[in-house]
Amino acid sequence: MTDIMTPQQRHRCMSRIRSRNTKPELKVRQWLWQHGYRYRLCVKGVPGKPDIVMRKYRTAIFVNGCFWHGHDVETQNFADPQIINSECCKIPQTNREFWVNKIRRNQERDQQNYQILQENGWQVIVLWECQLKASLLEDTMRQVEVALQDNYLRTFSHKAKTYILVDEENLPMAAEDNIEYN
């Protein structure tokens, strides 16, 4: 059998598959699937390489590892060596500059991806690994669910009605006879 990939290509391909099946992303996929949501993993024509694509909701989901994507870490200000590090992203002291630069590039690429998607009419949901640990998973995913429903309504916004909520206490007394409260 002939090998049609160069070692470099093969490496890139394998690491792409590995990164698609990281544990935090699996948790999100499992939750969505169990709650009846359907998604795609690799969709042509959707820019920005999101981890999970939910076309019906016009939503792209990214599941970010806290270290590699620099959760809560301000890498733009490297002039001050004190600042960098957060609860879930601790940059090693050794080769610190190397790591900071690497994480900064990842953050910049993330922002570009989110922007491209939004410019193309996609809603973007970014989830962090630390929000998906067992004690937080359900809460986090419930918030995702709310965002998805909201995004879904937005896809129909051109048809949306305006509902005016009436403060019940301020209803005129006489009107009560004519209104049926259910």
Contact between 127 and Zn ion by CB under 5 A: the answer reads: no
Nearest to 44 by CA among 56, 53, 57, 36: 53
Q: Which is nearer to Zn ion, 83 or 153 (CB)?
A: 83
* 62 makes contact with Zn ion (CB under 5 A): no
Distance, in Å, from the CA atom of 62 to the CA atom of 20, rounded to the nearest integer, reads: 11
Choose among 143, 146, 142, 154: nearest CA to 118: 154
Nearest by Cα to 122 from 40, 65, 64? 40
130 lies in the binding site for Zn ion (CB under 5 A): yes
Task: Say which amino acid occupies 42.
Answer: C
Residue 71 binds Zn ion (CB under 5 A): yes
The answer to the question of residue 61 lying near Zn ion (CB under 5 A) is no
Question: Measured from the CB of residue 112, what is the shortest distance to Zn ion in angstroms?
Answer: 21
Q: What is the closest distance, in whole angstroms, from the C-beta atom of residue 137 to Zn ion in the complex?
A: 14
Binding mask 76-115 for Zn ion (x = CB under 5 A): ------------x---------------------------
What crossing angle do the helices spanning 23-34 and 134-155 adopt, rounded to 10°? 60
Question: Least CB distance from residue 3 to Zn ion, whole Å?
Answer: 39
**Any contact of residue 126 with Zn ion (CB under 5 A)?**
no
